[in-house]
Each structure stands twice: as structure tokens, then as C-alpha cells.
Chains A and B, each alone.
Chain A
Amino acid sequence: MATDKTQHLQQVLETHRMAHIEKLLDKYKEKRQEVKEALEENYKDKIYNPINSGSYAKHTAINIKFDLDIVVPFKRNSFDTLEEMFNDVFDFLYEKYKDVAEVRKQKVSIGIIFDADDNGDEINIDVVVGRELNQDQYTEDRNLNLFVNSQYGLLDEKTYIQTNIQAQIDHIKGKNNERSIIRLLKIWKTTNNESYKSFFLELITIKAFDKESISGNLWDKLKSVMEYIKENITKDNFTLKDPGNTNNDVADTLEDWEKANLSNKMSNMISNIENNSDNIKTYFPINEEFKEEEDENKGQYGLKDASIVAPSIPNKSQQFG
């Protein structure tokens, strides 16, 4: 039995929408707000307004694995060193939440995993702590320095990284086609336990749309992006510039052998799906939890959101002949 690839992918996207987990998401938002307010109260005029970032802010979130991110921009003169700043925020959050959550230092952020509530839901908030690059410039340029928590104590490892989270968010603004593909690749990554970073998949997808003419139905587009990855990731001069800091090459985060593996994987995926369309179900599975009952609701107009009429907004020009 052949699968209609585009229809399947649409269903994959649909069943992974955040709208299905609105109640859980509300809990997340509530917690995020709480953390935000706690930070604001504690650090007062040492910080600018915390902003939301991460996949939810970028509209690339999927409902099977996500967290909510807050970026806390500190003023240049708030702390002497980035490490001091990082540790101070960690200590504050640790003291505040140690009884109800696991608070841990991550590579560039502080993770708070709240203990499961009565429904078994674990809430996961990531706090990214940054310091403006130049005094009083943040509101204008949005440039931040992040402390890099060196786990391995390597001498040559950088201890800070300059970035611009607002620029990262802006980079994907309005890119609906790209978003669908990014979400699909994230679904692939999550359900197939691939270790590639979401940010990497996001940037390479946007670059693919930028460099190639990508059109057709959803499968055509996904395939074009996968082909772009397959063809380009192993090239010597291939780079993925971090929109938050063009000096960061996100492609550099992969070793050569990882790039070769990724290229192979893309090649296998394309050929296996082309050879047998049912293979698409292995790489891009539907989230069964939110799958609508089949029988194609004969006798009813179809809605993408189970029995709720949500507003439909045409968002781009269309040509008719």
C-alpha cells in the first residue's frame, strides 16, 4: 500500500502541533512567567526585560519534546566576569527551586526541570544568561556575551560566546515554508534519536531555501532540503553562519565523520522513501496520540484541528489562471 507522502507529512505536522497540548503548554508558560518574575525581582535594574526564545518563540516547536527558553540580558556593569554572572544566577535559581526541581548547569544555560506534577507532567525551563556586549547598547544592538560552561576543562575551549538571540529569532520570522521543513526534520531527529542539534537543522534548512529554488508540495520541499544537506554538508567550504554572530560557524560543531554520516543518512532516507513510500512512516511518524480517526470524515468538511474551527489566514500571494 503506497502512502501519499505529502498527505502523510501534513498529518505528521498536524499531529505534532503544540495546539494539541495546550493545557500542558499553559503550565509551561505559567512556570516560565514565574521564573521570569523571580529573576526580575531579584536582579531588578541589573537586567533588561527577559525575552522568550527557543523553538516555541520561533514557531518550530513540536509537541513530543520541547522546553521553553528565557533569555536574561544583564547589563554590562552588573558583574565583573561572565562566570560570576552565570554562577550567581545558578545559585539564585538553585536556592529558589532546589526542593521542587532539578536545577543544573548546562553548556550555555541553566536548566530547571520541575518535578512531575499530579498528571506526571515534567516542566522544563531553560534560562540563558547573557551580558550586553557594550554598556547600555543592548536595547539597540541586542548583542550578548554568553558564558560557556566548560564541562571538560579543555584549555583551548572558549569560555564565552557572543551571540544575538533576537537576531536568531528574526532570522526565521515569516519563513513558513522553512518552518514546516524544520519541524519535520526535528520530528525525524526526535523520533529516530538522532543527535543533530535543532539549531543546526534550522539554519541548514533556511540556507537550503536560500540557495536552491525549493517548491512543489510538502514532500518535494522536504526532499529538496534533504538533498541540499546531502550534497553540501560534506563540502570543505560549507558554513552555517549563526545569525546572532557571523563569526560562529554552526557547521563547525559537527566532526567530519558526523557530516559524512548525516550526508549518508539523507541519501538513504531519500532513496528508501522513493523506493517505497511507506518508509516515510519510519522516518516521519505520525504522533498517534493526536491522530484523528480515519474514515476520512465523510459527510463533513475537514478541519485540521480536531472539531475546532480555528481562523484560517492566507499568508501569501497566490496566482490563479
Chain B
Amino acid sequence: MGFHNIEEINNIVSTIPFIDVLEEFKQVGIFLEGKTSVNLEGLNESLNFDVQIFPQYPLKSHDSEAIKFINKDLIPYNHVMGDGSICIHTLHSPKLKQKLLADFESLKAWIEKYYINKNIDSHYEHIIINEQPFDDIYYSYQFTDVDYSFSKGEFGQVDLTPLSIGVYKKKPISNFLIKSFQPLKKTIKINSKWSEYYMNFEVKNIGLFLFLEDVPAFHNRFAFSNWLELENYIPTDFLQFLNDFQKRNKKNKNTFLPIFFGYKTVENEIHWISTLVKINEIPTIGIPVIDSKGVKLKGQWESKLINRKINWAITRNSSYKYLFGRGTFCDKITNARILIIGVGAIGSMVAKTLVKCGAKNISIVDYDVKEPENVCRSEYNFSNGLYDKTFELIKMLQENSPFVNVNFHNNNEYFESFIKAFHKDKEAKKEYEKSLNQFDIVFNCSTDSDLMFVLDQLKLSTDLVNLSITNHAKDLVCAFYPNIYNYVQNQFINILDNDVDDLYNPTGCWSPTFKASYNDISLLTQYALKEINRKYEENKPKDNFTLSINSENNTNIKFTQY
């Protein structure tokens, strides 16, 4: 069947000034195929392209354009795929003519930029690797920064910790983290800079590494696909090491051994790619050493790579820079030592948001336990059942980021009962001050007026931020030390409409709680955190503010700066 009006397409293409049609489009299977030639100022001779139009055109498919311009001679140039197709992206348009013209314009732009002017992009693009499963299972290895600079040809052992087993492209996958490197000729262990939590994972597998330094790819872009292509990259002592390893591990002959090759990308960054080989299928052969006269030296063998396809496994650079590349809070927050007092609905959201936004050091304290009815409006999971809030939250936060160290702060009762009993005692007060001042930022999410009162009396050098919410989450009050207690009291008693009659009474004899959903609370909490981040980022004065929801006609949030 035909997906397109071929005549219309031929007509449009023939009107493009820099295009000569060599062969008109015709239906070939489900594709339309044609040949064109491009003539531009700056080109010595015209460039020919095979053009392929997919049935989806002018819509995109899998985020790729449904049109391909192919010229295999152009593979060495930037943004050309292995099949010789030029990588172009244009704006969405459902209109055939508009889209066709845009795509040819974009081809023209590519030629001018990368063929004629030989531009080099400022951002780095990874080499193209065809990631494969091994015995029908995918393997992935994530690595991060280390405090070490590898030298060319350095090799040794890699310690791997299993992260999870899951599903990837409908096949099983085994996910690993690279925990550390042990260069053969040194007695050091180079640790990856994951958080303590991940560094405490047990090493269950090992692999080998070789730092090539140079990129093992054609045109800096297409990863080698045969072991022979690595001949000038892999030193013989590594091959020897590989053979020795094989000899020592004969028993595990069918086990996959991951081998990591490292190379430099930009700004001295290191990337690792990985292949898996079975121990009895190491891609080398021994050949006798020959002297200058062509005579085999008795008993002397050396290892050579053999002609065999390389299958590449999956590796990812999951360093902080890449993991949080899409957006974080400002450095003043992410690098801060942060304490969160009270991790109920608000506190758990604050904690999780901080971690998602790149915070690296968080301590939490709360005396409370999580009951099933807490789940619906906090970050806690039902699946964990009844749990101490701090324990569950720490686990959750660690699962969210491999770069956050989360700690318990002191005793669970520290802020609940001790501080209230002892705050008048001079020595105890000093202790509390010291304990709080070791943090850069303290979020008090306890909504405990007594605690606000006590904390306001301390001499603090830390930034203390207090977040509280009125009933029905109609308002959020954000106050900064030392103007917390009086301000929050006045807001709650006189300014905001805090309806304290209509509270939610859970079963049992304990204090009722305010009514509000996850959506209600997180909306305000996120807004407040955004504003707090802005204050830090732009160095604005830390003045108190309130957020009030007005839902008369549609939902509005009123921000009031004090």
C-alpha cells in the first residue's frame, strides 16, 4: 500500500533551489526512495544522498525523523550514523510540505556546519556502541568519579557490587555498580565516590580493567567491533594477565568475565566501556616468539588477539555531574550539611525533594513511628508496613541517590523531650547550640510550637528554617531564625484562617491532625522549597513568607513576603 502522495513529494523536492533530483521518489517496500544531489556555495563538487522516507513521515518515530539522508562517504564527519545517515532533528510539523522543506534545510545546515566548516561541537557525544545481551541477558555497569588518574596501559581488577535484577528491553538485566579498581602493579584500592550506603554493599563479582586512554573507536565515534581492531591499543602484558587469569580460574570456564576499557573524553573525564567474555573463550591465541632470523624460540610464546567480534555490554557514567545533570538546587543547598527535624508529611517531602535535587548530606530526627494511615500524604511506602519514620526515610533517601549520606541525628527524643526539659540550663543550652550549629541548614518541620519557642531562644549560627501548614493545607508559613516563634504564632492566631474545629480525628486517644492530601501538602511544600532555593541562589535576605491557596474560581497560590 502507499502511505504517501509520491507525486506531491516529487513536486515539492523539485522546487528546492539547492537540490537536483537524480532519481525521483518511488515506492520500495514500505519506504519511498529517491536520490538527490546538493549544490551549495563552498562545495567543490555536489554531494549525493540516497533519501529514504518512512511511512510515518512527516511524523516522527521513536524520537527520530522519519526521513533519512544517506551517504556512506560521510561517516567520518560529525553527526553521521554508522549507516551513513545524517543525524538531523527539525521541529514538529504535521504538514508534509513544511516538514519536507525543513528537513532539507536541516540537511543543508549540516553540510555547511560539519562538512564545509568542519565544526567541532562544544558538548561531548559518546561513541556509538551497539549494546548487546549476553546469553540473552543484559548486563549494565554504572561507574562514577574516583580520586585517581589512571595512566595509559594501567590495568588490574575491578570490584563489582550487584545493584538489582530487572527487565530491560523485555529481557532480563543484571545491574551492577563499579565499586573500586585495584591496579595490578600497585597495592591500592581506588574507590568509587558513591555514598557510604552503596560502598557498604558487598562485592559479589569482579572484572578486569585496562585504561587505554585513547578512544577505541573509528572516527572517534563508532566503537570497534572486532578484537583485532584493538591490537594497537592493548599492551601485551595485559594479554598475558588475561591468560594468567584464565589459567587460575579454569574451574569457572563458563563464567562471564567483564572487561572494562577506559579512555579519556573531554576535560580529562574518563569513560569506561565493557565487554563480557567467557573465561574459556578469551580472545587470544599463543604464538611462538620468533627471533630476528625467523627461528622459533623454544618454549617462548606470546599472546595475540584473534579475529572475533566484540559484543559490548552496557555502561553508564552515573557520576554526580551526570546523574543530576538535568537540574538541582543551588550549590549552597546541595553542598550544605542539612538537618531535618520532624519527618512527617512535610518533613519527608522536604527530605526527598532535597535528595532529588542533589543534596549530599542530610541528617534526620523524629521520634514518631509510621502508621499505615501516614502513607497517604507522606513519602512513606505502604509496603514497609509499620516502621520507625527515620529508619524508613533513610532507606528511601539512600535508594534515591548514590551521592547522599543520610544519618540519624542524635537521639530520637532529642528535640521532642530532652530539649524542652533542659533548654533553660546554661550548659545544656550550649550543647544544643553546638549540636545544631554543626549544620549549615536546619529545617524544622515538626510543626511543634513548643520546639519553635525553644529553638528561637538559642544562639544559632546555622540557618534555621521553619515550615508549618494550617488546617486543610490552606496556607504554608515559612519562617527563618531568629524570627520564627512570634511570627508563626501571629500568623496562625491572627492572620491565617486556621480552622481548628474541623480536624481529622483518627481512632484512639491522641491529638487530632489537620486534614490535607498529598497533593495539598506537596504543592505548598514544593513552592516553598523553590522560594527557599531562590533565596539561597540569589543571595536574597531570608525574610519570612506565607503561601495561601485561594480556590474560589480556580486554584491560585498567593505569595506574601514579610
Using a Cβ cutoff of 8 Å, how many contacts connect chains A and B? 35
> How many residues from A make CB contacts under 8 Å with B?
17
> Which residues 448-486 of B have a CB within 8 angstroms of A?
482-483, 486
Q: Which of B330-338, B343-351, B489-497 contacts A (4 or more CB under 8 A)?
A: B489-497
Give A281 to B491 CA distance when docked, in angstroms: 9
Contact B562 A268 (CB under 8 A): yes
Asked, given contacts A261-B541, A265-B543, A268-B561, whether A278 binds B494 with beta carbons under 8 Å apart, the answer is yes
Residue A282 CB within 8 A of the other chain: yes
- Partner of B494 from the list A191, A264, A269, A281 (CB cut-off 8 Å) is A281
Q: Is B268 an interface residue (CB 8 A)?
A: no
Pairwise interchain contact B483-A193, C-beta atoms closer than 8 A: yes
The reply to whether A278 and B543 form a contact with Cβ atoms under 8 Å apart is no
Whether a CB of chain A sits under 8 angstroms from the CB of B553 is no
A278 near B490 with CB under 8 A, answer yes
* CB atoms of A281 and B543 under 8 A apart: no
Which residues from A are CB-within-8-Å of B486? 191, 282, 285
Please tell me which one of the listed residues A261, A265, A279 contacts residue B495 in the complex, with CB atoms under 8 A apart. Answer: A279
For A269-305 the 0/1 string (1 means CB < 8 A from B) is 1001000101101100100000000000000000000
| Option from B482, B491, B541, B561 in Cβ contact (under 8 Å) with A282 | B491
Residues of B within 8 A of A281 (CB): 490, 494
Are B494 and A272 in contact, CB atoms less than 8 angstroms apart? no
Of A1, A264, A276, A281, which is in contact with the most chain B CB atoms at under 10 Å from its CB?
A281
Interface residues on B, range: 10 to 19
Decide yes or no whether B507 CB sits under 8 A from chain A: no
CB proximity to B under 8 Å, residues A1-40: 1, 3
How many Å from the CB of A39 to the closest CB on chain B?
32
Q: Are B483's CB and A192's CB within 8 A?
A: yes
Measured in the bound complex, the distance between the Cα atoms of B495 and A191 in whole Å is: 19
Q: Which residues of B contact A272 (CB under 8 A)?
A: 560, 562
B487 lies within 8 A of chain A by Cβ = yes
A261, B541: Cα distance in complex, Å? 7
A116 smallest CB distance to B (angstroms): 11
Chain B residue at smallest Cβ distance from A277: B494
Name the residue of chain A whose CB is nearest to the CB of B486.
A285
Contact between A276 and B543, CB atoms less than 8 A apart: no
Closest 9 CB pairs of A and B: A278-B494, A282-B490, A193-B482, A281-B490, A261-B541, A268-B561, A278-B495, A282-B487, A192-B483
What is the interface of chain A, defined by CB distance below 8 A to chain B?
Answer: 1, 3, 191-193, 261, 264-265, 268-269, 272, 276, 278-279, 281-282, 285
A-B contact pairs, 20 of them (CB 8 A): A1-B494, A3-B494, A191-B486, A192-B483, A193-B482, A193-B483, A261-B541, A264-B561, A265-B541, A268-B543, A268-B561, A276-B494, A276-B495, A278-B490, A278-B495, A281-B490, A281-B494, A282-B486, A282-B495, A285-B486
